Amino acid sequence: MADAPTHAVVRDDALEQYLDRTAGRRLEAYKDLLRIPSISGIPAHAPDCRAAAEFVAADLRAAGMGHVDVSETGGHPVVYADWLHAAGKPTVLVYAHYDVQPVDPVELWDSPPFEPVVKQGRMLARGSSDDKAHVQMHARAIEALLATRHSLPVNLKVIVEGEEESSSVHLDAWLEANRERLAADFAVISDTSFFEGNLPAITIALRGLVYFQLDLTGSRLDLHSGVYGGAVDNPANALCQIVAALKGPDGRVKVPGFYDDVAELTALDRQAFAALPLDLEAYREGIGVPALFGEPGFSVLEQLGARPTLDVNGIWGGFEGEGPKTIIPAHAHAKISCRLVANQDPERIFGLVADYIAQVAPESIRYSIQRLGDGRPSLMPIDHPATQAAARAIESTFGVAPLYTREGGSVPVCASFESILGLSAVLLGFAPADGQFHAPNEWMWISNFETGIRTIARYWDEVAGLEHK
Amino acid sequence: MADAPTHAVVRDDALEQYLDRTAGRRLEAYKDLLRIPSISGIPAHAPDCRAAAEFVAADLRAAGMGHVDVSETGGHPVVYADWLHAAGKPTVLVYAHYDVQPVDPVELWDSPPFEPVVKQGRMLARGSSDDKAHVQMHARAIEALLATRHSLPVNLKVIVEGEEESSSVHLDAWLEANRERLAADFAVISDTSFFEGNLPAITIALRGLVYFQLDLTGSRLDLHSGVYGGAVDNPANALCQIVAALKGPDGRVKVPGFYDDVAELTALDRQAFAALPLDLEAYREGIGVPALFGEPGFSVLEQLGARPTLDVNGIWGGFEGEGPKTIIPAHAHAKISCRLVANQDPERIFGLVADYIAQVAPESIRYSIQRLGDGRPSLMPIDHPATQAAARAIESTFGVAPLYTREGGSVPVCASFESILGLSAVLLGFAPADGQFHAPNEWMWISNFETGIRTIARYWDEVAGLEHK
């Protein structure tokens, strides 16, 4: 599986001492960034987003990075900085974001969201874990390395985005426009969390997406179901037939070819899944369903992380009011999406689904399909050298080998890095699984923050030891 | 098939002359009733409903009926009147209603809805066909018979309801309370229309109904479809599976036992259906569907009149807004109804459907069923003596044998007469098929009104000649 490191990474005492010495100052810098209410989704906070970008730029410059640039995107700026003096060593593109989610309902916060406070080992503030902790951790690791060694073990290009919480609307164009400047060997995206129970984990896969709306039209107007029922097809019934044809009661998608490109789980993958602790009964109870449900032959975590799905996200047609209304609806609609896994191609999957709908849709109904978005799945195998380097860095700092997790959702920047920049990404994040990102009372373990900085520094040493392609 | 009449009914010249002589006065009485805005569904019109009831009561009294009673119901009153002096002859319960639909959108009327006007042989006003024409026609036939013969050929009990357009909310209780007073051999309900092209027709069947709402619940709250999709059942998908299980893509209901009690079509029934002219392409085009659709082995009119159905009347769950939202809905709902035909029992059909849903619903979802209403189907066979008597009365007045039609919808009073009073009903109505009931510019052919009065008088003579059970 893992490549053996080409040199043994040893503990850097000078670095450790530097980090120990600067802990207080570091916590203040972290708080200073958290005080900026850089909510990207609220237009009134645009100046705050810019202030956060300037803060990050100044911070990276002070840490010793070069070519620092608050780069315009048409929206909130992207901060770029690099250090490219590790001749013959790999170049890594690091990603984090300085923007945060809105804070409503603000009355549910125990302390004001932009007045960071440390309590019982936790930093409490909006953005404390998602994602300003990671912005700070990278800056502090760089600072410590440059302060103590006057060099980095690898070449780093850092970008810190300001629209991650607003669908990264301007990022793809900016990546396209900066393709050359961003050339690297691989990427590190720091915007993920550990496993439940604060177990160190590396996220190795994200699911992709195909999202579409299916619109069925029957009669010109709603019809009286007594007068017409039996001689006219009903778009709501037809919609149900189509949806039922797409996925069976066993949870398998029935679209021919749908599973063709799905990466089969290796023995190593299944072992990694089996290593993840999950109390199924507590999980079921937490969701509130009478029973869990999914594709046969896969564990719950495999179903969530390594298998594609098809779900109705919304359905509507006809009368929704109180009581009876005896109509045959003129039209019926469903929003439907498939979560995809490596190596499914959203374009191909959409084509297969659309072809199958064409096959099963009755001729007595007109229909159309609107695409509402898609995203590529991604997978960075467990045995990839960059993954294993991260595992070693985590184990040597946290004292425990990481778990390998997969996220059921997508991280759009990951797909953009792959499709625009051709870069695979290691997802190296240190947030607590229950950090209440996007919710009131967001928090971060100070210990994860501190150990994470040491992990990142160690990681660059590990990466430096990899065979440079 | 039809029983031969036991005596030959001959033309009554005195009656004809009386009707010819009183045509002008009759039209004025019809207009006077139409001027009363007796909209039962709008509380402000309650005094108008009462005024209409008083008008009808006075009119029946003037025509020579006895025991005239404006009977309280808790809502708008029912007018009762009888004439019971035809010893040894059948007793018939006659039904019509004096209330009307609202008139909105009133700006689409060519003339004010409660200012009746005759144009090109048509009476234009709200209620002109539905159903004040029939109220007047019965009164005028009675008046003419009593004026010229001083007796009626049969015993008549007339009830004129005031809440037909408001779901007859108080009628069932009133029928229960008046069961003895309403005892009869059969009923005549005059609230139906001729076939397209003003072809005389007798409605021999009405469909019944079972209406329910199916509510599915999955998780406590909507779930992120990326985070949970694949390990949790989706109530909207499950709803589609259940609905698809209920009716096949061929239009056959798949609930076991659903068709067990359906009255099979006789050769006479199929002949009657075949006699009804229907331009299928114009019908399809009028509805606006790409193709007609229905249970194999039956013509469109048979599907509509003689076969049961199952239709989704409304469906909803999850996100209905613009764009994508990646959720697994916490719940999903459908309103579903079955149109029933003789001899299906709503109670039994609901039981079969509920049992089948219990069988096909997945265990990973909770569901409940609410009943939202039902109604019994009815069928008065073509070869029933009372039907054939009506056919002879129509042929001798309109000069053409009636068609036999079935209505896809229900006439609740018909079901109430059967279940509460134990009376089968002949549906004898004379409205034009395209009379714009419930819509702006409702109208009635004056010629149908006039010939209808003569048909009704003739009908009582025909009924008098039937063997009295």
- Residues A241 and A313 grouped into a single domain: yes
* pLDDT category of residue A8 using cuts at 50, 70 and 90: confident
DSSP labels, A77-140: PEEEEEE---TTS-EEEEEEE--B----SGGG-SS-TTS-EEETTEEESTTTTTTHHHHHHHHH
**What's the pTM value of the predicted model, to 2 decimals?**
0.88
**In the Cβ-directed half-sphere of B225, how many Cα atoms lie within 13 Å?**
29
Instruction: Check residue A7 and give its pLDDT.
Output: 58
In a domain, A292, yes or no: no
B176 within 8 A of B415, measured Cβ to Cβ? no
Instruction: Check residue B369 and give its pLDDT.
Output: 98
pLDDT tens-digit series, residues A210-264: 999 999 999 999 999 998 999 999 999 999 999 999 999 999 999 999 999 999 9
Task: Give the nearest partner residue to B237 out of A243, A307, A363, using CB atoms.
Answer: A243
* Most B CBs within 10 Å, among A240, A253, A292, to test the B interface: A240
* pLDDT category of residue A438 using cuts at 50, 70 and 90: confident
- Residues A199 and A223 grouped into a single domain: no
Q: How many C-beta neighbours within 10 Å does residue A20 have?
A: 9
Instruction: Please give the structure tokens belonging to residue B355.
Output: 């049992």
* Most A CBs within 10 Å, among B166, B289, B406, to test the A interface: B289
* pLDDT category of residue B92 using cuts at 50, 70 and 90: very high
Find the mean pLDDT for residues B306-328. Answer: 95
- Residues B149 and B194 grouped into a single domain: yes
Residues from chain A contacting residue B292 (CB–CB below 8 Å): 231-232, 364
User: A307 by DSSP, 3-state: which?
Assistant: coil
* pLDDT category of residue A468 using cuts at 50, 70 and 90: low
pLDDT tens-digit series, residues B98-135: 999 999 889 999 999 999 999 999 999 999 999 999 99
pLDDT tens-digit series, residues B125-176: 999 999 999 999 999 999 999 999 999 999 999 999 999 998 899 999 999 9
Distance CA B261, CA B263 (A): 6
Note whether B326 contacts A333, CB cutoff 8 Å. Answer: no
- Residues B176 and B46 grouped into a single domain: yes
Helix (H) or strand (E) holding A372: strand A366-375
Q: Angle at CA A338, nearest 5°, toward A333 and A342? A: 165
- Residues B162 and B98 grouped into a single domain: yes
pLDDT tens-digit series, residues A62-72: 999 999 999 99
The strand pairing partners of B119, in sequence order, are B122
- Does B449 score more than 50 pLDDT? yes
Task: For residue B363, give the chain A residue with the closest CA.
Answer: A291
Instruction: Please give the structure tokens belonging to residue A307.
Output: 């298998």
Instruction: Please give the structure tokens belonging to residue A125.
Output: 């503030």
Residues from chain B contacting residue A228 (CB–CB below 8 Å): 287, 304, 408
- Does B5 score more than 80 pLDDT? no
Note whether A311 contacts B225, CB cutoff 8 Å. Answer: yes
Instruction: Please give the structure tokens belonging to residue B452.
Output: 């209808």
A408 within 8 A of B230, measured Cβ to Cβ? yes
Percent with pLDDT over 90 in chain A: 91
Of the listed ranges A8-17, A265-274, B200-209, the least confidently predicted one is A8-17
Instruction: Please give the structure tokens belonging to residue A429.
Output: 């994040």
Instruction: Check residue B4 and give its pLDDT.
Output: 45
- What distance in Å separates residue B203's CA from the closest CA in chain A? 13
Task: Give the nearest partner residue to B244 out of A240, A320, A335, using CB atoms.
Answer: A240
Note whether B293 contacts A211, CB cutoff 8 Å. Answer: no
User: B34 by DSSP, 3-state: which?
Assistant: helix
Distance CA B90, CA B464 (A): 7
Q: How many C-beta neighbours within 10 Å does residue B324 have?
A: 20
Residue at A34: amino acid letter:
L
The alpha carbon of residue B398 and the mean position of all alpha carbons in its chain are separated, in whole angstroms, by 23
Note whether A229 contacts B408, CB cutoff 8 Å. Answer: yes
- Residues A141 and A217 grouped into a single domain: no
Note whether A319 contacts B313, CB cutoff 8 Å. Answer: yes
Instruction: Check residue B409 and give its pLDDT.
Output: 82
CATH of the domain at A41: 3.40.630.10
Find the mean pLDDT for residues B246-264. Answer: 97
pLDDT tens-digit series, residues A11-35: 899 999 999 999 999 999 999 999 9
In a domain, A84, yes or no: yes
Find the mean pLDDT for residues A423-440. Answer: 94
- Residues B181 and B318 grouped into a single domain: no
CATH of the domain at A219: 3.30.70.360
Look at residues A346, A375, A404 and tell me which one is the last residue of a structural domain: A375
Of the listed ranges B335-344, B397-406, B433-442, the least confidently predicted one is B433-442
In a domain, B180, yes or no: yes
The set of long-range contacts for A195-200, using a CB threshold of 8 Å and a minimum separation of 24, is: A195/A276, A195/A277, A195/A403, A195/A405, A195/A433, A196/A277, A196/A278, A196/A433, A196/A434, A197/A277, A197/A433, A198/A432, A198/A433, A198/A445, A198/A448, A199/A277, A199/A400, A199/A403, A200/A394, A200/A398, A200/A400, A200/A401, A200/A402, A200/A403
Domain count, chain A: 2
- Residues A89 and A142 grouped into a single domain: yes
pLDDT tens-digit series, residues A372-387: 988 899 999 999 999 9
Residue A44 phi/psi, 5-degree rounding, is: -65, -20
- Residues A217 and A313 grouped into a single domain: yes
- Residues B433 and B323 grouped into a single domain: no
Look at residues B374, B407, B427 and tell me which one is the last residue of a structural domain: B374
CB-based contacts of A30, cutoff 8 Å, min separation 6: A116, A123, A132, A133, A136, A449
Give buried/exposed letters for B252-271 (b at 16+ CB in 10 A, else e). bbebeebeebbeebeeebee
Region of A334 on the Ramachandran plot (φ > 0 left; ψ -120 to 50 alpha; else beta): beta
In a domain, A195, yes or no: yes
In a domain, B273, yes or no: no
- Residues B180 and B248 grouped into a single domain: no
Task: Give the nearest partner residue to A249 out of B247, B317, B362, using CB atoms.
Answer: B362
Residues from chain B contacting residue A288 (CB–CB below 8 Å): 218-221
Note whether A294 contacts B234, CB cutoff 8 Å. Answer: no
Q: Is A258 exposed, middle or buried (0-12, 13-18, 19+ CB in 10 A)?
A: buried
Instruction: Check residue B307 and give its pLDDT.
Output: 98
- What distance in Å separates residue A317's CA from the closest CA in chain B? 5
How distant, in Å, are the alpha carbons of B104, B124, B138, B282 from that of B439? 8, 12, 24, 22
DSSP labels, A19-47: HHHTHHHHHHHHHHHHTS--BTTSGGGHH
Mean pLDDT of chain A: 95
Of the listed ranges B177-181, B329-333, B438-442, B450-454, the least confidently predicted one is B438-442
- Does A94 score more than 90 pLDDT? yes
- Does A5 score more than 60 pLDDT? no
A154 within 8 A of A90, measured Cβ to Cβ? yes
Distance CA B364, CA A287 (A): 12
Task: Give the nearest partner residue to A230 out of B241, B307, B320, using CB atoms.
Answer: B307
- Does B373 score more than 70 pLDDT? yes
Instruction: Check residue B468 and give its pLDDT.
Output: 59
Distance CA A54, CA A62 (A): 12
Task: Give the nearest partner residue to B233 out of A289, A323, A332, using CB atoms.
Answer: A289
- Residues B190 and B153 grouped into a single domain: yes
- What distance in Å separates residue B192's CA from the closest CA in chain A? 13
Handedness of CA A57, A58, A62, A67 (dihedral sign): positive
In a domain, B300, yes or no: no
Find the mean pLDDT for residues A142-146. Answer: 98
B216 within 8 A of B360, measured Cβ to Cβ? no
Q: How far apart are the first and last CA of chain A?
A: 18
| Residue closest to B380 by CA, chosen among B402, B345, B405 | B405
How distant, in Å, are the alpha carbons of B40, B73, B98, B101, B173 from that of B168? 10, 10, 12, 13, 10
pLDDT tens-digit series, residues A163-206: 999 889 999 999 999 999 999 999 999 999 999 999 999 999 99
| Residue closest to A415 by CA, chosen among A340, A348, A351 | A340
Find the mean pLDDT for residues B395-406. Answer: 96
Q: Is A129 exposed, middle or buried (0-12, 13-18, 19+ CB in 10 A)?
A: buried
Distance CA B73, CA B164 (A): 13
Distance CA A132, CA A164 (A): 12
- Does A453 score more than 70 pLDDT? yes
Helix (H) or strand (E) holding B158: strand B155-161
Task: Give the nearest partner residue to B224 out of A243, A291, A409, using CB atoms.
Answer: A409
- What distance in Å separates residue A380's CA from the closest CA in chain B? 18
Distance CA A223, CA A229 (A): 8
In a domain, B5, yes or no: no
Look at residues B323, B348, B374 and tell me which one is the last residue of a structural domain: B374
Q: In which domain, by residue range, is B80 found?
A: 13-206+377-464
Note whether A363 contacts B211, CB cutoff 8 Å. Answer: no
In a domain, B272, yes or no: no
Instruction: Check residue A2 and give its pLDDT.
Output: 42
